[in-house]
Chains A and B, each alone.
Chain A
Amino acid sequence: MARQWTCVEAGCDETITAPDTDTIIELVQAHIADAHDSFELEDMIEAVLVDVPDAE
């Protein structure tokens, strides 16, 4: 199973999928910094991750 996170910033619906928790935390933090000039805490990202089937 892959891990998925969806941005809930106003006007943003970016969805990020990654094979594991460590990778998705890194990708989400990069998205929040680049797209919203902000940060998202590790525990907050982990708290809302959902499992999705692997892409293949």
Chain B
Amino acid sequence: MTLVRIVEIVVDTFGDVAAETLEVGRHRRIEQPHEFRGRHKPATSDNAREPGHGTPIDGDLEVFSGLSTTKNVGDVIAKFALGDRGHATTVADLLRSDTYGNRALFTQNPLLPATIAVALAPSLRAFDERIPMSSDVESKFHFSREMVSGEIYRKYEKAMRKYWKVEDLDFTQDALDWQRITPEQQKGLLGITIRFLAGEQAVTDELVPMLAASHALRRFDWTMFLATFLLEEAKHAEFFMRWHEAVVGVVDPSEVAPHFLTRGKTVDPTGRFEVRDVMHEALPNYGRILHEAALGGTEKEIERAFVQFSAAYNGFVEGVLTMPSYEIVIDTTTQWDAFPTLKQGFKLILADEGRHITFGTTACRMLIEKDPSYEEAVHEVFDAYRGNIVGLVEYQKAVPGLDVGKYQTMKVRHYRNRCREMGVKPDDTLIEQILDPSIDFVVGVEAG
């Protein structure tokens, strides 16, 4: 259904525009203005006036308390659709998306566009007030000299320059090496690579909230970089899929699952630390908070949720927890003088990860500089998953002959560096705990 058709329905149904009603809506003060770019759960004719349904800000219901008749409701959408190009674009974007099965609903109920307009109107007005535009046409363009000379846009350019393809890699020697190593070595190595295979798929799946938030915050350079980020995470998952297929001969879930290192609940014998599932608990949960903020939160809510999610994804998982795992695989292939393409792939992936991690930490730094209270969100994340980081990475013990202490020291370096990049103060107690040799319980890690 096109916007034109929707407007036709509205005008046919409700008749002429009532200018008086529109003035009520446009001049009412906005309690919680934000730069609206997301979509709200639409109202229906049944719930449009209930808190939490179709209204991003409960207080805004009052704005439309006068809109008790369908005629006046229709006035609003007619105004927004016909009278303002910027608003029309936003309304059209929502209505065309079919996110909520719009098309079928509109066919059945021509009143629905009007109730959606009621839901959108406060945010549209807030959008108007927050982002001064010299013209509606200018609002269609995002590039500026300042943006393309900025550090995030430069990361996008670098990602485009450094692009590599899995299909260019040759797995022949790795397949031969797989046949000559011992069953014990096979088990140890596969335990690590299978975790990467799962982890890279997980981080690919969990990136969408960052894109939604960048869009909502109108940071187009972040969106552009995240497009390369998402593609590269998908490519990393592809690398591990191809390597396991060509070298080990496993691809399907039923084939790889038996090799996944499993353990019962990890327990710290001292009882001081709880070990939680970062990949399947922290990332989805923080991602849900960020996504919801991007859809209907205030600017500050989106920014704080971005810092929280990025601290977990880029800072904690990619930036500290996974780094020793990469190095363990590189050290192992060096020690065995085997698997040259696995080693090459890890180095290529690491170069990508360096950009991903520092995108996240740079974005956090920018937001924390804007509002220092966001620093607390970083510490909350690292504190919530403290047990995972103070314990030993299980791979350290999976491959005989590795220097276990080296990887704990490395975690401290990476933690301090992530804090330095984000512009936050490191938690000295956490550092002491990572380095404490008496804390030696082993934590299962999915890397990504």
Contact = CB atoms under 8 A, between A and B. Distances in A.
A48 B416 CA distance: 11
A44 B412 contact: no
A8 B417 contact: yes
A34 B40 CA distance: 55
A25 to B, nearest CB: 11
A39 B197 CA distance: 23
The binding surface of chain A is classed by DSSP as loop
B410 interface: yes
Given A8-B417, A9-B409, A43 B327 contact: no
Given A10-B435, A48-B420, A48-B421, A38 B358 contact: no
Contacts of B421: 44, 47-48
Contact of B413 (A9, A37, A46): A9
A41 interface: yes
Contacts of B357: 43-44
A41 B412 contact: no
A36 B357 CA distance: 21
A42 interface: yes
Given A47-B421, A48-B420, A9 B354 contact: no
B280 interface: no
Contact of B412 (A10, A43, A46): A10
B417 to A, nearest CB: 6
A43 B350 CA distance: 10
Contacts of A37: 403, 406
A54 to B, nearest CB: 23
Interface in A1-49: 7-10, 36-39, 41-44, 46-48
Contact of A39 (B327, B416, B420): B327
B418 to A, nearest CB: 9
A47 B351 contact: no
A44 B406 contact: no
Contact of A10 (B403, B413, B420): B413
Given A10-B413, A47-B361, A48-B420, A42 B351 contact: yes
B417 A44 contact: yes
B191 to A, nearest CB: 22
A42 B350 CA distance: 10
A37 B330 CA distance: 12
B355 interface: yes
B406 A38 contact: yes
Interface core residue of A10, A42, A47, A48 (most chain B CB under 10 Å): A47
Interface of A: 7-10, 36-39, 41-44, 46-48
Given A41-B351, A41-B354, A43-B355, 4 more contacts: A8-B412, A9-B409, A9-B412, A48-B417
